[in-house]
Amino acid sequence: MSKAELVILDYWVSPFCLRVKIALNEKGLQYEARPEDLFGGKSELLLKSNPIYQKVPVFLHDGKPLCESTIIVSYIDETWSSPPLLPSCPYGRAQARFWADYIDKKVFDASGNIWRSKGEVPVEAKKEFIKILKQLEEALGDKDYFNGATFGFVDIIAIPLTCWFLAVEKIGGFTVAEECPKISSWTKRCLQRESVAKVVPDPEKVYEFVLMFRKMQGID
């Protein structure tokens, strides 16, 4: 079998792109992360490959496009089976998909309600964000990773979002470590993995990006 050509249409700070890169790293696959200029103008390839949402990430497997990060991570897991990211039994897979879906629906929007806020951050926005993390903390329990002893699907979906938490903390005036210590330990544990550490940006850089974004949008 000739080597597959794997390309990600990428943006460095996007947690959704990071998911795809971590999944490929976990599988030990080589890929090209092709940066998109989201503010200057998206590539023709991006617009053609993801006509519905026109968003990164797009994953191209031998030229065939796939969109939506959670779906891409599932595809990667089904295409390259080792090491498995999703549990082997259908019930375990359904549980993992439930939490991945919960994270997709809740975390980024709730963090945005803090880091995008104009003036003082509403107390409700902070409460909601912490409530969501506490829910995840309950799902994590005393396990090392969401599925137990092994880093897997739900961890890949969740961990990229945490590099935005410093910005959320600085703008929101609280710390995740104090509110949700287990999520904080889990984050550190995940960041020790090479697959994660080599792609997740420095939270200070993400904070600078957020400040730049706030200026661009006229928030500050």
| Binding residues for its own copies (CB under 8 A) | 52, 61, 64, 66-68, 71-72, 74-75, 78-79, 90-91, 93-94, 97-98, 101-102, 135
* Residues 61, 64, 69, 72, CA torsion sign: negative
Least distance (Å) between residue 160 CB and its own copies: 19
Q: Choose between 69 and 195: whose C-beta lies nearer to its own copies.
A: 69
Least distance (Å) between residue 93 CB and its own copies: 7
**What is the torsion angle, in degrees rounded to the nearest 10, for the CA atoms of residue 166, residue 167, residue 170 and residue 174?**
-60
Coil, strand or helix: which one is 143? coil
Task: Please choose, from the candidates 85, 63, 64, the residue with its C-alpha nearest in 3D space to the C-alpha of residue 155.
Answer: 85
Least distance (Å) between residue 71 CB and its own copies: 5
Q: Choose between 76 and 167: whose C-beta lies nearer to its own copies.
A: 76
Q: Are 214 and 220 in contact (CB under 8 A)?
A: yes
What does the block give as tokens for 90?
């259908």
Q: Choose between 97 and 170: whose C-beta lies nearer to its own copies.
A: 97
What does the block give as tokens for 140?
């994590």
Q: Choose between 60 and 167: whose C-beta lies nearer to its own copies.
A: 60
Rounded Cα–Cα distance for residues 161 and 138 (Å): 18
How does 98-123 read in b/e, with b if 16+ C-beta sit within 10 Å?
Answer: ebbebbbebbeebbebbbbbeeebee
Q: Choose between 71 and 191: whose C-beta lies nearer to its own copies.
A: 71
